[in-house]
Amino acid sequence: MQIETSAHTPLPAPLQRAVDELTRVLVRISLEHAPATLASSLSAEDMVLTDIILRRKLDIEIFTLDTGRLHADTLALIGAIGDRYGHEVRVFGPDSAAVAAYVEEVGRDALYESVSLRKRCCEIRKVEPLGRALAGKQAWLTGQRRAQAVSRAQLQLQEFDTAHGLAKFNPLADWSEADVWQYIRALNVPYNRLHDQGYRSIGCAPCTRPTVTGEDVRAGRWWWELPQARECGLHAGRDGRLARRAGVNGMSAVGAAVNPARAVAPGRPAGAPRSHLDWLEAEAIFILREVAAECEQPVLFFSGGKDSIVLLRLAEHAFRPGRFPFPLLHIDTGHNFAEVIDFRDRRAAELGERLIVRSVEESMRRGTVRLRAAGDSRNAAQSVTLLEAISEFTFDAAIGGARRDEEKARAKERVFSFRDEWGQWDPKNQRPELWNLYNARVNRGEHMRVFPISNWTEMDVWEYIGRERLEVPSIYFAHRREVVRRDGMLMPVTPLTPPAPGEQVENISVRFRTVGDITCTSPVESSAANVAQIIAETAGTSTTERGATRRDDQTSDASMERRKKEGYF
């Protein structure tokens, strides 16, 4: 009974056996429980069932519920099914008068105010239409799996739906999430493109967010509620509790027993402790996915520095195997360290992601940047070039690697930091960020600066680099370099920064804690030649990396805040 995959990837033997068994179950349901119907939420699981039903031309109807608040990508999948299989999915919607009455009484988004108001919304938009869809049927099927959530851990292959008086089948109960996606990839089954943006379970738009590392599949559904409350009522009996009434001796009427070995949730073992880095990583991934979901034209700053290298790895965890939903951008002063620029270009090429480079020198040629003297630092002038690039590409969100521990102006900035139409930041007029809810709304010409690792420290960054085995430019490690001592800091000797008269050139072992424009970036004395040694060295320092190495922050106590107000990173 092997499914023909034509030019598609053959299924691995264990999964093929599971598909064979699933197909036998579906055939027997269509013959012994007619008329039967698949209640499809257009999830990945439902698309597996849809594919087999329509490929085998089984006599099982397929319907979906359009609540009026679904994502556009979800609705687009209805048309994709028609295009692929030549089949029209039946669509049931809520009673418009009931919806209008609810909105008039309590408001469109009252669902956030209490579980009871949210469930009342679900009752109107989902449960009542489901009753109409199941009228006259003998059985209905769902794509539920045990591993999806704690509320589904006791899911049976066959149940009796007391609310509707029907047999109810969950044919994928003992499948894993990996099984589902392996099938979809191998047979090129259409799926909701929101899955590529980190949405593992998708419902109504206001009730769904992407999940982060370590969360269960349905953690993004009604995320503000306790896990045991996160069901909509579609699978509840007359008493309001989830229906979990199995067939005789735990066997389904179609003769397929539950296989406990396949019911293990993928990923982290249940109850496994999460480290401090795990929590920081999960938060950052959530923020990146929020940007992808909420913003139309985001971009990620990538300079080749250690913080932006960490951002790239977080983006990989958030969006792979798909492409990043944003390009990379670097504002080049023309005075950057060659080792960092070489690394920047190589890493972007390895990832296969688009890298946009705009230079201060281009702004100087246009006349939008004018230095007082040829030897002046170009670092502050980056703000002009950056705002020009944001305007050129109409970016509405720019993701950066700034952290609160670096400098006091950064310490008081929000994760989603609003910039007005002039690219400026007003530290006294920032948006609230309660319960990790981020407001990304902007008008035309405005944009957000987003800092996913804002809550990280320099130590966290290096521990993550070590854990993920990330490559960084060589100048982060100890090496010998000619320097002079100037204003209490070391200054590298380069053609751009020659020694002043009377300064003594020394050749000593140094490394860079942060990298930027050569004219304002100082190394520190160090013998740390690997990540472990850098971590040990960092643990003993009492000066922030920018305080110890960035000359542009030493001009005044408010130098960073002034630059940020003008549009700086």
**pLDDT for 2:** 40
CB atoms within 10 A of CB 129: 21
pLDDT means over runs of 10, the chain (569 residues): 51 91 94 94 95 95 93 92 94 93 88 84 92 94 86 84 90 92 94 87 85 75 66 52 40 31 33 75 92 93 95 92 91 91 94 93 90 77 90 94 81 88 85 84 91 93 92 94 90 91 94 89 92 89 66 48 52
Q: Judge whether 379 and 520 are in contact, CB under 8 Å.
A: yes
Residue burial 501-528, b: 16+ Cβ < 10 Å; e: rest: eeeeeeeeebbbbbbbbbbbbbbbebeb
Determine the pLDDT at residue 242: 42
How far apart are alpha carbons 233 and 219 in whole angstroms?
A: 17
Region of 211 on the Ramachandran plot (φ > 0 left; ψ -120 to 50 alpha; else beta): beta
DSSP state of 68: S
Each domain of the chain, given as residue ranges in start order, spans 13-262, 276-450, 473-555
CA dihedral of 327, 333, 339, 343, whole degrees rounded to 10? 0
- The token duo for 415 is 């994760």
Catalytic (active-site) positions: 232
- H or E stretch including 531? helix 531-539
Average pLDDT, the chain: 83
Looking at domain 276-450, its CATH class is alpha beta
Q: Which residues contact 297 (CB under 8 A, 6 or more apart)?
A: 393, 394, 395, 396, 397
Q: From residue 6, give the alpha-carbon distance in Å to each of 2, 46, 57, 180, 387.
A: 12, 22, 18, 19, 51
The pLDDT assigned to 485 comes to 93
CB atoms inside a 10 Å sphere around CB 478? 21
Coil/strand/helix, residue 479: strand
Contact yes or no for 393/299 (Cβ under 8 A)? yes
CA 66 – CA 58 distance, rounded (Å): 24
Q: What is the architecture of the domain spanning 13-262?
A: 3-Layer(aba) Sandwich (3.40)
What confidence score (pLDDT) does residue 231 get?
A: 61
E strand map for 176-307: 298-301
Judge whether 13-262 and 276-450 match in fold: yes
Is the pTM above the cut of 0.75?
no
Residue 97: helix, strand or coil by DSSP? helix
Q: Which of 521, 527, 528, 493 is nearest to 507 (CA)?
A: 493
Per-residue pLDDT, 238:
42
| CA nearest neighbour of 61 among 84, 21, 92 | 92
Cβ neighbours of residue 487 closer than 8 Å, sequence gap 6 or more: 551, 554
Beta strands in 341-443 (DSSP E): 355-359, 397-399, 416-419
